[in-house]
Structure 1
Amino acid sequence: MDQLVAMRVFARVVESGNFTRAADSLNMPNATVSKLVQELEAHLGVRLLQRTTRRVTVTPEGHEYYEKSTRILRDLEDIDNAFSTARSKPRGALRVDIGSSTACDVLIPALPDFLARYPDIRLDLGVSDRSVDLVSDNVDCVIRGGALESSSLVARYIGSATFVTCATPFYLKCYGTPATPEELKNGHRLVSYVSPQNGKATPFRFERQGERKEIKIDHRIGVNESNAHLAAALAGIGIVQTFRYCAGKAIEAGVLTEILQEWRPAPYPFHVVYPQNRHVTHRLRVFIEWLLEFFPQRVAGAPHQPGIHQPGK
């Protein structure tokens, strides 16, 4: 048994929650993963995992071994990186998960610069408005907007987006242009963004000189994907509240008209998030540094305020 390989395999099983996901992420047969964990348990003389037909549970001894062994694995990777060409020339695969509109309007247009700087990094983008589990889905990092709750993740602030409320000129000609948030309740058709996580419509939020308002009324249509949400506004179905980086070009072209400009919602923060216990590779580190260079300006948000914090603390 190669103990280092067995330690890495055991760590992936713990992180992913089952043998199949671990095997897929390591590109190993399921039987090989199971055998290595069994050999590691025999070598240590303790049960690390409790296996059932539905799930894998880490034993107290397994949890202790995971904590200690992952520290060793991270130290070994740091030593290897210190003496390898990867320090000056990062290489390998990097998997990033990101929301649909943020990918299309912010990240992807800037990627030629990143790929030119780091030609040996292969970038795999998971694009969806649904949140993923970084650990079990073997994602290196995610770019997320809004409040962060999980204290098991590390987040780095990368900028804030500006919201706009808008509709087509034809819609406003037919239904009138509201002068206050309350007027949205007077026969206007709203197109709500529906959370892919809980299926709830996001209320329209407004802020002016410290005064905040939240409008909750039945929407004409609900959409759970950000690009389709904007498409509904462009089709003239109703009023939407979305990011300026999504609707900005349409507003400049006169296809959409911004309304309630004095009542813009508070800036919406974005973070790059990664697992607390996972080693930060050099390729992930340079990707985060690159994000800090361009992302704040691309989302037209708040002044750049770099820093690391633990979400929920």
Structure 2
Amino acid sequence: MRIDRFKSMEVFVRVVELASFSRAATALHLPKGRVTTIIQDLETHLGVRLLHRTTRRLSLTDDGMLYHQRAVAMLQEMNELEAALGHAVVTPAGRLRVDVPAAIGRHAIAPALPDFFRRYPQVVLELGSSDRPVDLIAEGVDCVIRGGLVHDESLVARQLGSMAVVTCAAPDYLQRHGTPATLADLEQHHFVNFFSAKTGRVFPFDFRRADEAHEISRPHWVAANDADTYTAAAVAGMGLMQSPDNRVLREHLASGRLVPVLPDWNAGTLPIVALYPRNRHLTAKVRAFIEWAAALLQAELDPTAPP
């Protein structure tokens, strides 16, 4: 029997990742019966059973555990080899599913899509725009762009840049509540808070100067979990905010709708990264999107760029 060993390995790893033939079939855009046949043919070729199957769950046999461990390592090695060899002479094509922060999707990526499709007309792009955490494996997403540090070792991260974080507020709010001159003055102020869409955790404000670092939490009239709503609430005069120095913020600062406060303190930087699964083959279309987005976001990340 002749089988496509590489394809069989990819299908097997995805079935194990998702613990389901059906979910793996959906993620791979294959009929469920085809996924089942590939796994059966792989087991026949190897002469061992890789999976215990019941009506409710899948589990790995001892041989399956060994094969899965080696398969993940081999797929990663292939991924790294192709990356090391540079851009393969392969035309980016096919369905590409990515997810980006809502503000970046709306203000940076969507307006520039004609340029992307002039370069890569054979790609079909499914663009998710959200600030919620995305499970790339379970949701069949090829890559995401996110702001912040990466703590998931199952993902490969490529840093695209970073943005300084600015503390600011609307002039109307400052007229009503006064402009803070020291961190102690913040006791008299409300924050527009940002909370995690996954956990509901409210993120504190960061203030740094020389060897000093402070995390400060204050009550809010309103909190948001997407960047555009968060910024709009601050522009409406609902409190102090801390925002990455992107084009949208620079536009509000240039127009006077927002003004910086506490300029003697900085609020750190926010890294912007592209993420994709560590054990997934990095295709030409994913590589093309990441390279294109990296170049595009240089203007978004450049503090000297005009609003």
Q: Secondary structure at the match of 2:121?
A: coil
- Please list the CA deviations of residues 278-300 of structure 1 after superposition, one character each: whole Å capped at 9, or x if unmatched: 11112222222223323233123
Equivalent residue, structure 2, for 1:251: 253
1:178/1:51 Cα in 2 relative to 1: closer, same or farther (>3 Å)?
farther
Equivalent residue, structure 2, for 1:308: none
Equivalent residue, structure 2, for 1:95: 97
User: Separation in 2 of the partners of 1:128 and 1:210?
Assistant: 35
1:243/1:61 Cα in 2 relative to 1: closer, same or farther (>3 Å)?
same
User: Aligned letter for 2:3?
Assistant: Q
Q: How many Å apart are 1:265 and its aligned residue?
A: 0.8
Q: How many Å apart are 1:98 and its aligned residue?
A: 1.5
1:172/1:99 Cα in 2 relative to 1: closer, same or farther (>3 Å)?
same
CA contact (8 A) 1:144 1:270 kept: yes
User: Separation in 2 of the partners of 1:176 and 1:54?
Assistant: 61
1:195/1:69 Cα in 2 relative to 1: closer, same or farther (>3 Å)?
closer
* Worse-superposed segment, 53-62 or 175-184: 53-62
Equivalent residue, structure 2, for 1:205: 206
| TM-score of the aligned structures, taking structure 2 as reference length | 0.84
CA contact (8 A) 1:191 1:220 kept: yes
- Please list the CA deviations of residues 147-174 of structure 1 after superposition, one character each: whole Å capped at 9, or x if unmatched: 1112222111110012122222111111
Do structure 1's residue 28 and structure 2's residue 30 form an aligned pair? yes
CA contact (8 A) 2:147 2:271 kept: yes
- Please list the CA deviations of residues 115-170 of structure 1 after superposition, one character each: whole Å capped at 9, or x if unmatched: 22222222221211111122222222111211111222211111001212222211
Q: How many Å apart are 1:276 and its aligned residue?
A: 1.6
- Please list the CA deviations of residues 206-264 of structure 1 after superposition, one character each: whole Å capped at 9, or x if unmatched: 12234222111222222122221112112222222112214221221122222222222
Do structure 1's residue 180 and structure 2's residue 198 form an aligned pair? no
User: Separation in 2 of the partners of 1:58 and 1:227?
Assistant: 45
Do structure 1's residue 3 and structure 2's residue 3 form an aligned pair? yes
Q: How many Å apart are 1:204 and its aligned residue?
A: 0.8
Q: How many Å apart are 1:301 and its aligned residue?
A: 6.3
Q: Secondary structure at the match of 2:200?
A: coil
CA contact (8 A) 1:267 1:301 kept: no
CA contact (8 A) 2:167 2:260 kept: yes
Q: How many Å apart are 1:20 and its aligned residue?
A: 2.1
Equivalent residue, structure 2, for 1:105: 107
Equivalent residue, structure 2, for 1:40: 42
CA contact (8 A) 2:75 2:279 kept: no
Do structure 1's residue 228 and structure 2's residue 225 form an aligned pair? no
User: Separation in 2 of the partners of 1:15 and 1:27?
Assistant: 16
CA RMSD of aligned residues (A): 2.9
User: Separation in 2 of the partners of 1:20 and 1:293?
Assistant: 37
| TM-score of the aligned structures, taking structure 1 as reference length | 0.83
User: Separation in 2 of the partners of 1:116 and 1:55?
Assistant: 45
Do structure 1's residue 137 and structure 2's residue 139 form an aligned pair? yes
5+ residue gaps, structure 2, are: none
Equivalent residue, structure 2, for 1:60: 62
Equivalent residue, structure 1, for 2:268: 266
1:28/1:103 Cα in 2 relative to 1: closer, same or farther (>3 Å)?
same
CA contact (8 A) 2:76 2:280 kept: no
User: Separation in 2 of the partners of 1:224 and 1:75?
Assistant: 38
Q: How many Å apart are 1:75 and its aligned residue?
A: 5.8
Percent identity over the alignment is 41
CA contact (8 A) 1:153 1:276 kept: yes
Do structure 1's residue 240 and structure 2's residue 241 form an aligned pair? yes
Equivalent residue, structure 1, for 2:195: 194
CA contact (8 A) 1:16 1:137 kept: no
Do structure 1's residue 277 and structure 2's residue 279 form an aligned pair? yes
1:253/1:10 Cα in 2 relative to 1: closer, same or farther (>3 Å)?
same
1:300/1:129 Cα in 2 relative to 1: closer, same or farther (>3 Å)?
same
CA contact (8 A) 2:144 2:276 kept: yes
Q: How many Å apart are 1:42 and its aligned residue?
A: 4.2
Q: How many residues align?
A: 295
Equivalent residue, structure 2, for 1:306: none
CA contact (8 A) 1:194 1:223 kept: yes
5+ residue gaps, structure 1, are: 303-313
CA contact (8 A) 1:160 1:296 kept: no
